[in-house]
């Protein structure tokens, strides 16, 4: 993975977050405390501002730095979770030190596992994991079957969207919405939405660079 790709992906993510201000804000207002958009904007903005510093680093070091920066910038529930995701991903990339889809899938999966560990949550608890876990599984499967990049990206975006939409019907059992019981039903989880947006942004970035 090239660091330059990470840098432009960071910008796409930031733009995607900014583009969905009102949606993210109202989702967290409905079943949380209304700050998820602000948190994500603060985090994404901080990463884009790191541009010069990151550009000088290897991809894995850049991802690790991104994780650390998110850790000290976002706060809330999403901060340590996303930080754990990027730092774990960086670790695998560094260990494997190659440029294969299999490695990327393994790194993504390691990131998702770190989120699970940190948040002590799994599938179906109405969190970002309802997007991340299915995407990680599919990513690994597609990588194992040598699917082409375009197919992979499109499939992952689709899965992310499905996972995000699926949170609507769930009761939350982790995070702030867990105190709502039945009242959480009918609302998409804000963290799931922002993860879907980020996956979308990165996949579209990949697709664009394939043209």
Ligand X SMILES: Nc1ncnc2c1ncn2[C@@H]1O[C@H](COP(=O)(O)OP(=O)(O)O)[C@@H](O)[C@H]1O
Q: Which residues bind ligand X (CB under 6 A)?
A: 28, 32-33, 35-36, 39, 76-78, 81, 115, 119, 121, 127-129, 174-176, 189-192
Assess contact for 128 and 80: CB atoms under 8 A.
no
| Phi, psi (deg, nearest 5) at residue 32 | -140, -135
Smallest distance, other proteins to C-beta of residue 48, A: 16
Tell me the C-alpha distance between 165 and 145, whole Å: 27
The residue nearest ligand X at its CB is 191
3-state percent helix, strand, coil for the chain, nearest multiple of 5:
80, 0, 20
According to the binding rule CB under 8 A, does residue 31 interact with other proteins? yes
Interacting residue with other proteins among 44, 59, 62, 78 (CB under 8 A): 78
Structure tokens at 62: 């850049």
8 vs 173, which CB is nearer to other proteins? 173
Locus of tokens 């796409």: 12
According to the binding rule CB under 5 A, does residue 189 interact with Mg ion? no
67 vs 76, which CB is nearer to ligand X? 76
CA dihedral sign of residues 37, 87, 105, 206: positive
DSSP string spanning 149-185? HHHHHHHHHHHHHHHHHHGGGPPP-SSGGGGGGGGGT
192 binds, among other proteins, ligand X, Mg ion, none (CB under 5 to 8 A by kind): ligand X
* Number of chain residues interacting with other proteins (CB under 8 A): 34
Smallest distance, ligand X to C-beta of residue 22, A: 15
Structure tokens at 172: 């939350």
Assess contact for 95 and 120: CB atoms under 8 A.
no
96 binds, among Mg ion, other proteins, ligand X, none (CB under 5 to 8 A by kind): none
Tell me the C-alpha distance between 32 and 26, whole Å: 9
Smallest distance, ligand X to C-beta of residue 28, A: 5
Assess contact for 142 and 105: CB atoms under 8 A.
yes
| Phi, psi (deg, nearest 5) at residue 201 | -60, -45
According to the binding rule CB under 8 A, does residue 76 interact with other proteins? yes
Map the footprint of Mg ion across residues 68-87, applying CB under 5 A.
76
Smallest distance, ligand X to C-beta of residue 189, A: 4
Smallest distance, other proteins to C-beta of residue 88, A: 13
The residue nearest Mg ion at its CB is 32
């Amino acid at each position: 993975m090239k660091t330059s790709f990470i840098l432009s992906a960071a910008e796409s993510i930031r733009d995607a977050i900014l583009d969905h201000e009102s949606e993210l804000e109202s989702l967290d207002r409905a079943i949380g405390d209304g700050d998820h958009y602000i948190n994500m904007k603060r985090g994404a903005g901080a990463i884009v501002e790191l541009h010069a510093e990151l550009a000088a680093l290897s991809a894995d070091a850049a991802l690790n730095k991104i994780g650390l920066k998110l850790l000290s910038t976002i706060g809330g529930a999403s901060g340590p979770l996303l930080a754990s995701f990027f730092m774990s991903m960086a670790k695998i990339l560094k260990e494997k030190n190659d440029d294969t889809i299999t490695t990327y899938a393994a790194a993504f999966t390691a990131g998702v596992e770190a989120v699970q560990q940190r948040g002590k949550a799994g599938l179906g608890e109405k969190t970002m994991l309802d997007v991340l876990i299915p995407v990680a599984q599919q990513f690994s499967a597609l990588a194992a079957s040598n699917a082409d990049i375009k197919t992979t990206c499109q499939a992952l975006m689709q899965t992310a969207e499905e996972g995000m939409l699926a949170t609507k019907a769930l009761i939350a059992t982790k995070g702030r919405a867990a105190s709502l019981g039945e009242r959480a039903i009918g609302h998409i989880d804000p963290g799931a939405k922002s993860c879907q947006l980020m996956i979308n942004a990165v996949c579209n970035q990949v697709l664009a660079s394939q043209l």
